[in-house]
Structure 1
C-alpha cells in the first residue's frame, strides 16, 4: 500500500457481510519523512490483502514441530545461510507467547558476516519501537566501528557497545545476553561489551515482534549473511555459548531456532 512511514490507524468494513466484493477502509497517519505528516484514507478489498495467497517464503523454525519464520523481500539461502540484500530483506518470526523473554534472562545467538555497506544494520529487533516502548535491538554500525545493543523497559533504556564492528566480511559468532542484571555482547567467545541492563520486561505492553535483518518500520536492513539464529529464555554459560557456536544442542532448548539453511 505504501513504503512511507505510518502510524496510528483505524480499520472499518465499508460494505455488508453479504456483499460479493466487500470493501475495507483504512484511515492512518502517513508520510515520506514522518508518520505524522498526513492523515490518509485507503479503500481496498480482501483480494488486495492477498488473503487467498500463502504468507510467503518460509524457513524452518526447528524449535517446535512445524514451526516456520517468514522470509520477506526475496532473501535467499546461500552456503547454508541466509543472504540478505540490505534493501528490503528480513526474517520475521510469528508470534508465540512461549517466546516472550519478559523480565527474565535470555540469550540470542547467531553467526554473521557483513561489511559491504557502512550503513547501520540491524541483526535483531525484538519488541516495539519508539523511545519508551519495551524493546531490545542489536545492530552493526560500521561507520562508528561498533556493534550496539539497546534494551528499553518501563525502567528506562540501557545500551552496550563493542569497540569494533566486525564488518570484515568474515564469519563471526555472536551472543547477546541478559544475565544477572547485565547486558552482554560476546563475539567469537570473547566478551566484547558489558553493562547494566534495564530492569523489568522487554516484552510487556507492546505487540511482540521478533525479526532478523531489519528494524521494525522498514529501516536498518542488513547487508550480509546470517546463520543459525537462536533465542533462549535463559542465560547461557560461556561453555554453552561455545557449544552453540559448534552447532550442538543446549538444554533447556531454544524457543526460536532458525538454521537459515533453506527457504521454501
Structure 2
C-alpha cells in the first residue's frame, strides 16, 4: 500500500510541481545529427551549434555532441551568447556547473568545456575543463573563478590532480564546479568525489555576457576542447556534496526540487500513520 501511495504521489507531484527552483539551465545535447541549435530544457537561451561540432552521437544519457578541438574558431563551439540564466546566478551569488565529458586528448592547455564570462577582455570569467596537456596536471579536471581584481592564486584556479585519476581516459566522467560568494569557496568534483577546493581571496563573480561550450571564449578565444560533451546543468546554488553525488548516480537527471522531496516525505509519513491507525 505504501509503495502504491508513493508512486501515485510522485506521479502527481512530478506533473504539478516540476519547476526545479535551483536549476536555471539544462542543455541535454540530445538533438539529432545535423542539429544547428542546442535547446535549453527550461526554455532559456538556445545555443548556436558550430558547423564543426557533430551532434547526435551516443552519450552518457541519450545523445551527445562531439567537439573536434582542432582550433578555437567559432565553428568548433556551441555559443549561447549572453545567456538568460546569468541574471539568476548573479542575483544569488552562487552557481553550479555540471557536465559529462569523454576525452582522450593529451595536448593543449586547459581545454575548456564550459566558459562563462566577459568576452570583451582577457581574464574575467569562470571556466571548467580538462588540463589535457598541462605540465604537472596532465589529464586532470580544472576550474577557475576569475572576477575583476583576482590575485594570482585565484587566477590559477584548482585541479583535480592528485586526488583523483586523470579524466582523459576515454571514459565518461562527471565534472562539477560550485562557487559561493557568501562562503568564499569554490569546489571541484569529479565523478561525485570532492577533488579540490579554493578559498577565494576575491569573493565575487565575474562579469557575465558570454556562455560557450568548447573553448575559452574571452576576447581572444583559446583552449579548444576535444572530445564528447553531454548533459550540461546550471544551478543558481552551490550544490552540496550529496547533491553532486546524486548527479553522478543519475546521468541526465536534474536535482529534484526541494518541494517535491519534502512533500514525498510528508506523503510517506501520512501513509505510515494511516497504516498504523
Q: TM-score range by the shorter chain?
A: 0.5 to 0.7
Q: Provide the aligned length of Structure 1 versus Structure 2.
A: 194
Among 52, 59, 62, the residue aligned to 2:38: 59
Question: Unaligned regions of 5+ residues in structure 2, if any?
Answer: 1-34, 259-277
Of residues 186, 203, 206 in structure 2, which corresponds to 1:202? 206
User: Shift in Å at residue 225 of structure 1?
Assistant: 0.2
How far apart, CA to CA, are the structure 2 residues paired with 1:148 and 1:201? 17
Q: 1:68 to 1:129 in 2, by over 3 A?
A: closer
Cross-structure match for 2:243 = 240
In structure 2, the CA distance between the partners of 1:74 and 1:95, relative to structure 1 (3 Å rule), is same
For residue 249 of structure 1, what is the aligned residue in structure 2?
A: 254
**2-side partners of 1:192 and 1:135: how far apart?**
21
Change (3 A) 1:133 1:168: closer
Residue equivalent to 2:150: 156
Matches of 2:210 and 2:36 in 1, distance apart?
18
- The answer to whether 1:142 aligns with 2:129 is no
Q: Helix, strand or coil: the match of 1:116?
A: coil
Q: 1:183 maps to which residue?
A: 186
More strand per residue: 1
Secondary structure, counterpart of 1:214 in structure 2: coil
> How far did residue 182 of structure 1 move?
0.8
C-alpha distance in 2, partners of 1:236/1:133? 25
Determine helix, strand or coil for the equivalent of 1:166.
coil
Mean Cα deviation higher: 97-106 or 208-217: 97-106
Q: Select the structure with the greater relative contact order (CA < 8 A; seq sep ≥ 6).
A: 2
Render the CA deviation track for 1:80-138: whole Å, top value 9, x for unaligned: 11111112411111424442422711100010011234212111111125887531122
Q: 1:96 to 1:125 in 2, by over 3 A?
A: closer
- What TM-score, normalized to structure 2? 0.63
Contact 2:102 2:228 in 1 (8 A): yes
Over aligned residue pairs, what C-alpha RMSD do you find? 2.5
Map of 2:52 onto structure 1: 74
Q: Secondary structure in 1 aligned to 2:129?
A: strand
Aligned to 2:269: none
1:99 corresponds in structure 2 to 86
Work out the CA distance in 2 between the residues paired with 1:218 and 1:238: 32
Which residue matches 1:257? none
Q: Which runs of 4+ in 1 moved over 4 A?
A: 129-133
